Structure 1
Amino acid sequence: MLATLIADDSQNYSVTQGNVTYQLRWCDEVNSTQPNATVLKTEDKKIQVVGRLTKTDIVRIGNAWYVTFGDGDRNLADGHNETWKAFVEVQCQEKYENFSVLQPVNAAGFVWFQLYSNLVCLPPVTTPRPGPTPTPTPAPVPPEHTSKWTVFFMLIITAGICYLVIGMAYRRFVLGAKGLEQVPNYDFWRDPCGYTRLRAH
Structure 2
Amino acid sequence: MQKWKIFGKNFTVSNKGLTYFIGICSSPNNLANNTAIIQKENNSSYVLGKLDQVNFVRGDNWILLTYRNGDPYKNICNNSIRSASIMFVCGQNTTDPTVLQAHTDTDQHCDYMFELQVSEMCPAVEKNKKLSGGAIFLIIFFSIAIAYLVIGAVFMHIKHGARGLEHIPNFEMWRKLGNSAADGCDFCCRCERSSPRAGYFLDESGPDMRDDDILSP
When the two structures are superposed, what TM-score results if normalisation uses the length of structure 1?
0.61
1:93-116 deviation line (CA, Å, top 9, x unaligned): 136643111121265631111112
Unaligned runs of 5+ in 2: 135-184
Matched, 1:155 2:202: no
Which AA in structure 2 matches 1:184? R
Question: How far apart, in 2, do the equivalents of 1:87 and 1:79 lie?
Answer: 17
Q: Name the counterpart of 1:51.
A: 49
Matched, 1:4 2:21: no
- Structure with higher Rg: it is 1
Map 1:19-38 to 2 at 5 A. Answer: 19-33=17-31, 35-38=33-36
Q: Paired residues, what number? A: 161
When the two structures are superposed, what TM-score results if normalisation uses the length of structure 2?
0.57
1:142 pairs with 174, 183, 189, which one?
Answer: 189
Provide closer, same or farther for how the CA distance between residues 119 and 98 of structure 1 changes in structure 2, counting only shifts above 3 A.
Answer: farther
1:111-165 deviation line (CA, Å, top 9, x unaligned): 1111123132232367999x9x9xxxxx9x532544xxx54xx226x7326x99x
Q: Name the counterpart of 1:68.
A: 66
Question: How far apart, in 2, do the equivalents of 1:34 and 1:91 lie?
Answer: 29
Question: How far apart, in 2, do the equivalents of 1:113 and 1:69 lie?
Answer: 11
Ranked by relative contact order (alpha carbons within 8 Å, sequence separation 6 or more), the top structure is 1
Matched, 1:186 2:184: no
RMSD: 4.1
Provide closer, same or farther for how the CA distance between residues 83 and 121 of structure 1 changes in structure 2, counting only shifts above 3 A.
Answer: same
Question: How far apart, in 1, do the equivalents of 2:127 and 2:109 lie?
Answer: 46
Question: How far apart, in 2, do the equivalents of 1:45 and 1:35 lie?
Answer: 20
3-state SS of paired residue (2:33)? coil
Which AA in structure 1 matches 2:119? N
Question: How far apart, in 1, do the equivalents of 2:127 and 2:68 lie?
Answer: 39
Unaligned runs of 5+ in 1: 134-138, 169-179, 190-201
3-state SS of paired residue (1:72)? coil
Instruction: Indicate conservation of the 8 Å contact 1:41/1:49, yes or no.
Output: yes
Which AA in structure 1 matches 2:125? P
Deviation at 1:46?
2.7
Q: Name the counterpart of 2:120.
A: 119
What percentage of aligned pairs have identical amino acids?
17
Which AA in structure 1 matches 2:3? T
